[in-house]
Amino acid sequence: MAVAALGTTVALAAPAGFAQAAPSDTAPVAASSAGATQTTTTTTKAAAAPAAWAAGTRAYLVITAPGGTSAVSGAVVSNGGSVFATYDAIGVIVAHSTSASFASSMRTVGGVQQVGATRTSDVPADAYNPALPANPAQSATTLTESNRWDMTQIKADQAWAVTTGSASVKVGVLDTGVDDQHQDIAPNFNAADSASCAYGKADTRAGAWRDVGTHGTHVAGTIAAAKNGKGVVGVAPGVKISSVRIAEPTSSLFFAENTICGFVWAGDHGFKVTNNSYYTDPWAFNCPDNVDQAAIIEGVRRAQAYAEGKGSLQVAAAGNSNYDLANKTTDSESPNDSTPVTRTITNACIDIPTELPGVVTVAAQGNGGAKASYSNFGNGVIDVAAPGGDGASGVYSTLPGGKYGNMNGTSMASPHVTGVAALIASTNPTFTPAQIRDQLGVQATDRACPSDARCTGTTTKNGFFGEGAVDALKAVGGSTPQPGAYFENLADVTIADNATVESPITVSGVTGNAPATLKVGVDIKHTYIGDLKVDLVAPDGTVYTVHNRTGSSTDNIVQSFTVNASAEVANGVWKLRVNDNASQDTGKIDAWNLTF
């Protein structure tokens, strides 16, 4: 990734691995920085690999029936290959070989259903002894949180009055990696469920998940940057982020075996949602009439179905080529790991993972809601739309090293939807992926086609916006508050053992009494909430108890309560009082708010 300038503005060249958006599904159209950037568990078997890397090594997917990989692993070796990784629950072997006849020989083996090369270039030597990504030095920020245009456009700032998300909801960022040390990401980062899946096999060493670019850190911040008073706030600042790096270093390419590893990891580690702002290299579109690409389609499809069967919803970027995904004709960008050629394609050829069954496909909008100039589209392909930035109005988020910056792309739109999906999962913990997916569409705000012949469909569902622009507030069951009727306190208040603390909010400019449906949004970080009694104290001293030592050993109170405060004058100093009634467990009032 080439840095063209230093200082307050950094121009980032799009890595080849992001190709097809503008130029690819994942590459930011522009970037600048500012700041001080189904019920079984599958096993991934270690490589029965050569002692050392050999020039000419290529990677293949060997597809069998689920549970049938062990019966053909011997044939992999006898036909000049080695088993690099095995995903037996979905019937996928990642094999390496230097033999040009490996694939054709394996296709004749009993029990083998498909075999396909995953790349047109050699597997890097790094695959056999992967180097850990750098852990960048961190810069402190003087930036304070503000309501950015993208968050207000999807009403995330209003949704936080209902929930900022639950810490029990795990979100996977399948990308270039994430800077887990960043001041706005560290509070919500889940290292225990993070890994690298570069080359198609999980690497669980500490730090293997870190960013080999900037893209994944930016995406992570949009989803769940902490609500901590500095920098930026993500759509779901109360959920946990896990990084699954699927981009390979140097090339930043996302090959099929990497995606397969990532999806299986997501399923096995309980991710409720994953964000996928990329397409599976080296083919912008994989065509089922090509034996290699057919195997890629099947392998990744099985992995996605496995993750969904385990409770994980996949959200993916539509791509940045201003291309009609419902009327495919040509592809001039593939293969992007060697020499691209122009080929004729049809709608049978699909962008992976975004066009796989069950995946939520996201188009991008600019500031104001119009289709972003670069965003792919397609009636029946696009599910929802979200802010991705366009031109000077970029999406501002985290960058490695404690920095922040703007990027544009469907890569930036997708994490907004992922964040909303995480909020839905937080307020509806029993929801299945299908139910979350349905909620995203049903609650989206309808947006009609503009005067553009390329946009076909209806107001309720069309090629530019799908079922509409995602609405975080409606998605979590909230309603729009009246202007000027929302008040919050973001200052932390420590809750010590056996102590009582208060956090004030001064309300002004509200006529008459408080409503009978006063919303009290509470974000308390505290282990064992059965220790706590939580009261709303009105300006005249009247106490309304919203939580009284329930919840036992559950951690954290992140929810919205409704209080009948109609007897109280609205204006004045309201307080949130928290009483800790036991020893050992402590915490803090992280934030709270009132909606009149």
- What are the CA-CA distances from residue 343 to residues 203, 285, 286, 407, 409 (Å)? 36, 11, 12, 31, 25
Under DSSP, is residue 170 helix (H, G, I), strand (E, B) or coil? strand
* Residue recorded with tokens 């599976």: 280
Catalytic status, residue 215: yes
Distance CA 24, CA 31 (A): 14
Backbone phi, psi, residue 441, to 5°: -75, -45
The H or E element spanning position 435 is helix 433-442
Whether the Cβ atoms of residue 255 and residue 296 lie closer than 8 Å to each other: no
Cis-peptide into 335, omega within 30 deg: yes
From 32, 122, 182, 215, the catalytic residue: 215
What's the CA dihedral at 4, 18, 318, 221 to 10 degrees?
Answer: -60
Measured distance CA(431)–CA(169) in Å, rounded: 12
**Catalytic site residue from 122, 175, 331, 531:** 175
Catalytic residue among 105, 277, 411, 560: 411
Count the Cβ atoms, other than its own, within 10 Å of residue 17: 28
Whole-number Å distance between alpha carbons of 98 and 505: 68
Question: Rounded to an integer, what distance in angstroms lies between the CA atom of residue 453 and that of residue 449?
Answer: 9
Contact criterion met (CB below 8 Å) for 68 and 61: no
49: Cβ–Cβ under 8 A, 6 or more apart, which residues? 82, 83, 84, 96, 128
If phi > 0 it is left, if psi is from -120 to 50 it is alpha, else beta; for residue 251 that is alpha
Q: How many CB atoms lie within 10 A of CB 214?
A: 27
Within 10 A of 156 (CB to CB), how many other CB atoms are there? 30
Between the alpha carbon of residue 279 and those of residues 1, 85, 245, 284, 354, the distances in Å are 18, 22, 14, 7, 7
Cα 212 from Cα 248, distance rounded (Å): 8
Q: C-alpha 569: how far from its chain's center?
A: 43
Q: How many CB atoms lie within 10 A of CB 470?
A: 33
Contact 150/582 with Cβ under 8 angstroms?
Answer: no
557-563 and 403-407 beta bridge pairing: unpaired
Q: What is the largest CA-CA distance in the chain?
A: 83
Beta strand 500-507 pairing with 572-580: antiparallel
Instruction: Examine the residue annotation and report whether 535 is marked as an active-site residue of this protein.
Output: no
Q: Which residue bears the tokens 């609405």?
A: 471
End-to-end CA, the chain? 49
Strands (E) in 118-194, as ranges, are 170-175
Yes or no: say if 173 and 185 are a contact pair by the CB < 8 Å rule: no
Per DSSP, 188 falls in state: G
Residues forming the active site: 175, 215, 411
